[in-house]
Structure 1
Amino acid sequence: MDNRLAELRKSRGWSQEQLADMLGVSRQTVISIEKGRFDPSLPLAFRLSDAFGLTIEDIFRP
């Protein structure tokens, strides 16, 4: 699954560690999602959506 996570995170000036703390996950999880090696669970996808104020579809592309 393709995603815009790194682009969106950087546009807000957030580090991977800051985003991980907001989401309650490890920095490694954020890295893995950004690189497309890990697809987030639905609850985590909703937390990402809330953090960025975007729909899940705006962050992740099939």
Structure 2
Amino acid sequence: MTIIFNKIKQLRKEKGISQQALADYLGIERTSLSKIENMKYNPSARIITETSNFF
């Protein structure tokens, strides 16, 4: 799963997207996205799917 978390952060930064913008799209708090990116929280299947669709 580490690869997924690192890839989210990497893609977001490469595309110049803020954590807040992605969190808004996903319908979650920015702090939740931060926890996902820093491997402190496991995202649901919905979050993984919607993140995939976003990128």
Do they superpose with TM above 0.5? yes
- Unpaired runs of 5+ residues, structure 1, are 53-62
**Paired letter, 1:7:** Q
Decide which structure has greater helix share: 2
- Unpaired runs of 5+ residues, structure 2, are none
1:5-43 Cα offsets, whole Å, 9 max, x none, are 111100110010011011111001110000001110011
Structure number with the bigger relative contact order (C-alpha 8 A, sep ≥ 6) is 1
Q: CA RMSD in A?
A: 0.8
Find runs of 4+ consecutive structure 1 residues off by over 4 angstroms. Answer: none
Decide which structure has greater strand share: 1
Percentage of pairs with the same residue:
37
Q: State TM-score, norm by structure 2.
A: 0.87
